Amino acid sequence: MLEQLDHIIASLARFTPEVWLMAAFVALISWDLVTTEVNEEGRGGFFHFLTCLVFIILGLFVYHQWQTQSPGPLFNQMLVLDGKALFFKALITFSALIAVLHSWVMKRRWSGEFFSILVGMVFGLFLLSMATNLLMVYVSLEVVSISSYILTAFRGDRKSSEGGMKYVLFGSVASGLMLYGMSLLYGLTTTLDFTNPAFGRILVNVDPLVSASALILAMSGLLFKISAVPFQIWNPDVYEAADTPVVSFFSVAPKAVAFLVLMRLFSVLPLNFQPVLAVISLVTITIGNFSALWQTDAKRLMAYSSIAQSGFVLVGLVAFSSLGNQTAIFYLATYLFGTMASFLLIDALSPSLSKNSVSISSFNGIGRQQPLAAVLLTIAFLSLVGLPLTVGFSAKLLVFSSLWEAYQQSSQNLFLILFVFGLLNTAVSLAFYLKIPFALFFRKTAEETPVVTLSWGVTVLSLVLTLPIILLFLKTDWLINWISGL
C-alpha cells in the first residue's frame, strides 16, 4: 500500500501540465463570477487574453517535461508519459492557442464559461494522450465529448442547439457501444491495460470474428471522434452548427489524440485485424470525398473533407508498423496547418453576417478585394489536396509509401486496392477543394455583397499558419526526424 502511495505521489510530480489546467479551469470560472460588472466587450477581450496566457504557460510546462522527464507509467499503469504523449500534448496546446486567437481576431464575444470549458476539454485531451488503460480511455474520452457537446451548442441559437443535440445523440450511441466492447475485451483478456503483452497474446488465440467484433465495438468512440465510417454522420451538422473557431479546434485536436490511442491499441493487435482497418479506411476516404463534391456550403464541405482526411491517416495505420505510425503522426501534424488556416480564412473572407451557413457562392469575386488572403486560402486547400510545393504532398507520399511497404511484405490484394483507390480519391478531392478558390478569383461579385475587410491580426495569424505549409515541404526532414525519435 505504501509503495502504491509513493508511486502516486511521484506521478504527481510528472503531472504538472494537467494540474495547471485544473487550476486554470477553476480560476477562469471564478474570475467570470467576480467580474460581472465589466462591460461585455471588455470581458470578451480580457478572457481571450487570459486563455491565451493559460495555453502559453501550458506550452512551457510541456516543453519543460520534454527536456527533463523520462518515459514511464503514471498512477499504477493508468497513464504513460512518453515521447508520443508529449508530442501530441504540444499539438493540442498549439491548436487550442490558435483557436482562441482565431476567435479573438474575429472579435467573437464569449462569457468566461466558454473558455473554462475549452480548458477542460484540453485537460481531457491531455489525459487521453497518455491513456493506456481502457477505463482511463473511456473516462477521458467522455470528458472531451461532454465538453464538445457544450461548445457546439454554446451560442444558444436554434442552429447550434440542434447541432449540439445531434452530437449528443450520436455520441451517446458511440459511447455505449464503446463501453460494451471494452467489457467484452476485459472478459476475453482479463486486463484493462491494453499495453500489457498478455492483452495481445490472448487475442491472438481468440476466434478472429469474436476478437474483431469486440475490438470494433471498443473502438467505436475513437472512430466517432475521427469521423470514420460508419460513425461520420454527425460531422457535417456539427461543423455547420458550431462557431467556426470551435470547429477549427474540433477538426484537429480530438481527432489527433484519438489516432494516438488507436496507434497504441494497434501496436498490440494481431495482424488479422489489418483487412478490417483497410476496409474502414477505403470506405471513409471514398464517402468523404464523393459527398464533398455536392456541397454548396463551405463549412459542410470542410466537414466531408475532414472525413476523407481521417481515411488518409488510417492508411498509415493499416501498415501496423513503426513507419506507418510515424507517417500518420507526420500527416496529423501537417494537417493542423492546412485545416486551421482554411477555417480562419473561410471565416474572415465570408461576407455573410451569419457565420452558421457560409455559402460557397458568397465568396464570388472576394479574391479581388483581398488577394493575399485568397492566395493563402488557396495554398491551404492545395495542401489538403496533397499537391507538390505544399507539405500535404509530402504527407500523402509518406502514408502511401508505408502502405506500399506493407503490401510488399504481406502481398494482400486489399492493400493494393486501397493504394490505387486512395490515389484516385486524391485526384477526386481536387474538384471540391478548388471550388472556393475558383469562386474567389473567377466569379463576379454580386452588387449587394458587402466589402470584406481584414484586420492585421487575421493577416498575421493566416501567415503564421500558411508559411509552414511551404517551409515543411522544403524541409520535410525537420519534422520527420523529430517524429522518428519519439
pLDDT for res 203:
81
Q: What is the pLDDT along the chain (486 residues), one digit of tens a residue?
A: 566 666 677 777 778 889 899 999 998 888 877 776 555 555 567 888 899 999 999 999 999 888 887 777 787 778 888 889 999 999 999 999 999 999 888 888 887 788 999 999 999 999 999 988 888 999 999 999 999 999 988 887 788 888 888 888 888 888 889 999 889 888 888 888 888 777 878 887 877 788 888 888 888 888 988 888 888 888 888 888 888 899 999 999 999 999 999 988 887 776 667 888 888 989 999 999 898 888 888 888 999 999 999 999 998 888 778 888 899 999 999 999 999 999 999 988 886 655 566 788 888 888 888 888 889 999 999 999 988 889 999 999 999 888 888 888 777 788 888 888 888 888 888 888 888 888 888 877 766 666 777 888 889 999 999 999 999 999 888 888 888 887
Contact between 71 and 26 under an 8 Å Cβ cutoff? The reply is: no
Nearest by Cα to 373 from 363, 383, 385 = 363
Q: What's residue 79's pLDDT?
A: 86
Which uninterrupted H or E stretch holds 81?
Answer: strand 79-81
Cα separations (Å) of 465 from 56, 138, 331? Answer: 17, 32, 15
Residue 291 backbone phi and psi in degrees, to 5: -70, -35
Give the pLDDT score at 352: 64
DSSP classification of residue 346: H
SS3 category, 218: helix
Q: Are 457 and 371 in contact (CB under 8 A)?
A: no
Inter-residue contact 386 to 467 (CB < 8 Å): no
Q: What is the pLDDT of residue 5?
A: 67
- Sign of the CA dihedral with 8 first, then 10, 14, and 18 last: positive
Half-sphere exposure of residue 331, counting CA atoms within 13 Å on the CB side? Answer: 34
Say if residues 119 and 360 touch (Cβ distance below 8 Å): no
Domain spans, the chain: 270-486
pLDDT in the model for residue 265: 86
Measure the CA–CA gap between 62 and 77, rounded to whole angstroms: 21
**Cell numbers given for 427:** 485526384
Q: What is the pLDDT of residue 344?
A: 92
